[in-house]
Chain A
Amino acid sequence: MNHQLYGNLIFELSKEGRKGYSLPKNRFGNYELPAEICRKEDAQLPECDELTVVRHYTNLSNNNFGVDTGFYPLGSCTMKYNPKINEEMAALPQFQNLHPEQPAHTVMGAEALVTLLERSLCALTGLAHFTFKPYAGAHGELTGLMTIDNYHRSRGDLTRKKVIVPDSAHGTNPASAAVCGLEIVEVKSLANGQVDFEDLQRIVAEQGSEIAAMMMTNPNTLGLFETRIPEIAELIHNCGGLMYYDGANLNPMLGACRPGDMGFDVMHINLHKTFSTPHGGGGPGSGPVGVREGLQVFFPCVSPYQGNYAVMMRAYAYILSLGRENVKLVGPLATLNANYIKESLKDVYELPIDTTCCHEFVFDGLKDKTTGVTTMDVAKRLLDYGYHAPTIYFPLLFHESLMIEPTENESKETLDGFIAVMRQIAEEAKTDPDLVKSAPHTTPIGRVDDVLAAKHPVTTYRQLQAENV
């Protein structure tokens, strides 16, 4: 990584008249754009030669950390390996050059792939139909809730506007409900991390006729399987609500349990988590929504075509590569890896709920609270050792949450290396806390000033130039 030599913005490398493109000559004669429809000033885009552009972005990539760089135990994000064959398939010109408005008889292969992928997802989840329109997990949540809202509306059941979510839920769940015009009712968690069934019964008894749905991940955000799920589903169904499965944590269920069998009616899948499509620095993802038979007529139109089609191609290539023989090992191996890390570190990191977890688990900071070393410090020190940090300060149930998800891909050697470093950091916290608190030391930049960025936002090059004047 090199920040000093290659820290320029592409705008700062621009030299007037330089060209990085090649276009054919105009052979259509004299067609000039009329001035009255044109912009007055050119967009101030950079002018660079091709090599400058190539070096710039290559060096930028060197300032990044990906799954291909090293271990990425970012909890709740399922950072598994993204096989290269998937990329090759998604780039096939026979698919890449298809305009989405092409008539059906000219895109038979592309449409067939959608059907094949849908069938696979149905087999894996126990649901009957999928829509691929949603572009991401959050978009899938919104689509699923709209489906539920449409279902209740179709029955003239217009008072069902409340969605129950556990207090441990990811912030996106309540946000999706709000965008769908629904209201949130939080159900408490017990000390063991599970939904408080008695609290849920109380909510249903008081507000049953207003409940549109209950929205859950299972395993939940603590990585724990909700053992009372059949009773929960029965309770919600009996009051007229539907069960929504947030597929964020589907990975450990492959080979173990299907959402349809747990009693869920509607779910979304994050293809970029469970089905190995690359996270791309934050997208594009894909969030197909599946439903029980009969509910597919309530799918809303949330995008114009088949969603992020090229992402779906990658997911299907992954499913084919695994096949029915290996897909059922995904969950157990991810679960084994997580439990192995948990058991190997729980003597030095605080484990608030000591039980078998699924694909991930949460520490509440270091066990020794006297050092002053926080979860943030541990996360930053991990960067020095060449690891990506776990998810930190989520879930909100604990003050010093450190959420670790290794995925099924990592070898015992990788896990042992990570465990050794985590122990080393715990040791450093005692012997040299300042070293940890001032980490990272080896990265291209040090800790950043978040307050400065928010207090005085500079978000474009034009603003940056104005600053310098």
Chain B
Amino acid sequence: MMEKVGVKTLDDLYVQIPDAIRFKDDYQLPSEMSEMEVRELFGKLGSQNKQLTCFAGYGVYDHYTPSVVPSLLQRSEFLTSYTPYQAEISQGTLHYIFEYQSMMAELTGMDISNASMYDGTTACAEAMMMTVAAGKKQNKVLVSAGLNPKTREVLDTYALHQGIELVTIPLTDGVTQLSAINYQLSTGGVAGVIVQQPNVYGIVEDFTGFAEACHEQKALFVIDSVAADLAVLKTPGEWGADIAVGDGQSLGIPMQFGGPYVGYMCCTEKLIRKMPGRIVGMTKDNRDQRAFVLTLQAREQHIRRQKATSNICSNQSLMALFVTMYMSLMGKQGLKEAAQLSYAGAHYLCDELLKTGRFALAYDQPFFNEFFVKYDGDADTLYQRFIEAGILGGVRYEDGFLFAVTEKRTKEEIDNLVKIAAL
């Protein structure tokens, strides 16, 4: 091969690199490891992580994963392929993305969905930019204080560089007030309004009149939701949202210390050409067969270059496949059942905690599978006591606890938590 290429040594391949910047040392890296040694090292690192029974949420939930999903996800035709540019040998990917888009549109009650995004927080930031790009010279976006601070931080980052002005709408009694939104809308220049459902306290808010108020001022209404919750909760579509975003991690994806997850973005048909990210559409091939293909690419960054309003190149395809297979297995009934179990478990835990006399719900509002309680003792000490008992006792938030319960938590686990909390 070297003869064909016309070099005598591998070094000769790099004669064009100025000698002064050639790297000639050894990299400061460990020596090569066999598979067994790699396993041993990862095993050792793994043993330094504490395995806890999870009652934490805050955007990431410990849901059940059907065994089919990770098994099929390892099919290497899915795993080791790239973006489906060559439709003739990528129907597998294109087909499941079409299914994914269909399912997310059903779940959110919206017309259409893109092919997925990185995660919920960046999907929300993209929605923020989309409202500004869709508007005419409007540069202000209203954000409910009910939005998870982690999401808000990402929004703040994107807004700073984009020159978008974010205005926080404070909560009253734990929920966003339409009057506060109306007041800010009346000041003019508002491109979008972003709320979260359920909000950061787990409260299911009432958005009656929100969409109308937004549309009257030509602003877009954005709802950020945990995907699994929408199996039962009133949908963004029903609330009149223009854009629905959020994280799909709750659809069975393991928590894996923060990622990969999958962000979703759905919108009304009217906005399809403003939506960032890839979209798969149906078409025909030259043999008159139904086929799927990447479509509406004129919206995308590689065509628009510096005129782009998003730089998203790909989707989070494998994770979109994950949730598509999850939803195929769980189906209409299974998703509802899991949601009902989560709801029941959370309300049972809440009731039991209140019975101890040491906890109080911060807000008298409906909640789904996560809730915010205050504790009459030292919260940090209790949190540590939970951990010593092998429990991740929710998330310490403000002056209390955010507890989340999924269908994975048993009655015994909940009773055990309550026992420790009552000490």
Contact = CB atoms under 8 A, between A and B. Distances in A.
A281 B256 contact: no
B326 to A, nearest CB: 9
22 contacts: A23-B338, A45-B107, A64-B78, A96-B256, A99-B56, A106-B52, A135-B260, A146-B161, A174-B305, A184-B305, A229-B21, A256-B14, A257-B21, A281-B93, A281-B318, A282-B93, A320-B32, A321-B33, A332-B14, A356-B15, A443-B88, A446-B285
Nearest to A14: B331
Interface in A57-95: 57-58, 60-69, 72, 74, 77, 79, 82, 85, 87-95
A460 to B, nearest CB: 4
A99 B54 contact: yes
B331 A18 contact: yes
Nearest to B282: A458
Interface stretch (B57-65, B165-173, B210-218, B356-364): B57-65
Contacts of A27: 410-411
B98 interface: yes
Interface size class of A (residues with CB under 8 A): 35 or more
Interface string A16-52: 0011110110111101011001111011111110100
B2 A136 contact: no
B262 to A, nearest CB: 8
Contact of A280 (B54, B156, B281, B317): B317
A336 B5 contact: yes
Contacts of B68: 20, 50, 53-54
A449 B32 contact: no
Contact of A66 (B77, B158, B257): B77
Interface in B168-213: 204
Nearest to B20: A230
A97 B254 contact: yes
A450 B283 contact: yes
A324 interface: yes
Interface string B41-81: 11111111111101010111010101010101011111111
B16 A444 contact: no
Contact of A34 (B307, B317, B366): B366
Interface string A98-126: 11111101111110110000011001101
A20 B328 CA distance: 8
A37 B77 contact: no
Interface string A219-260: 000001101011000000000000000000000000111100
Contacts of A355: 16
Interface string A112-155: 11000001100110100000000111110110001001000000
Interface string B228-254: 001111110010000000000000001
B301 A284 contact: no
Contacts of B107: 43, 45
B332 A43 contact: yes
Contact of A97 (B30, B151, B255, B330): B255
Nearest to B314: A282
A9 interface: yes
A149 B261 CA distance: 28
A460 B56 contact: no
Interface string B273-290: 000001111111111011
B162 A179 contact: yes
A175 interface: yes
Contacts of B160: 300
Contacts of A401: none
A209 interface: no
A108 B121 CA distance: 25
Interface string B323-354: 01101111111111111110111011000000
A190 to B, nearest CB: 14
Interface in A390-439: 412, 438
Contacts of A19: 331, 333-334
Interface size class of B (residues with CB under 8 A): 35 or more
A197 B190 CA distance: 45
B224 interface: no
Contacts of A447: 88, 285-286
Given A137-B313, A304-B150, A462 B308 contact: no
Contacts of A47: 331-333
A113 B49 CA distance: 11
Contacts of A50: 68, 329
A328 B27 contact: yes
B395 interface: yes
Interface in A288-309: 300-309
Query: What 7 A-B pairs are tightest by C-beta distance, nearest first?
Result: A323-B32, A305-B258, A94-B46, A280-B318, A64-B92, A109-B48, A66-B80
Given A109-B47, A120-B29, A255 B23 contact: yes
Contacts of A137: 313
B38 A89 contact: yes
A383 B334 CA distance: 40
Contacts of A179: 129, 158, 161-162, 308-311
B381 interface: no
A126 B13 CA distance: 22
Contacts of A37: 204, 233-234, 366, 368
Among B81, B296, B302, residue most surrounded by chain A Cβ atoms (within 10 Å):
B81
Given A19-B333, A21-B334, A229-B21, A282 B278 contact: yes
B83 A281 contact: yes
A206 interface: no
B376 interface: no
A178 B311 contact: yes
Nearest to B340: A33
Contacts of A181: 161-163
B21 A262 contact: yes
B256 A388 contact: no
B376 to A, nearest CB: 22
A62 B343 contact: no
A311 interface: yes
Interface string A161-188: 0000000001110111111110110000
Contact of B23 (A65, A119, A257): A257
A21 B38 contact: no
B18 to A, nearest CB: 6
Contacts of A101: 56, 58, 60, 392, 395
A57 B153 contact: no
Contacts of B304: 171, 175
Given A103-B387, A284-B260, A302 B154 contact: yes
B291 interface: yes
Given A45-B103, A138-B313, 9 more contacts: A19-B334, A42-B336, A45-B335, A225-B14, A280-B317, A324-B29, A329-B10, A454-B297, A462-B106
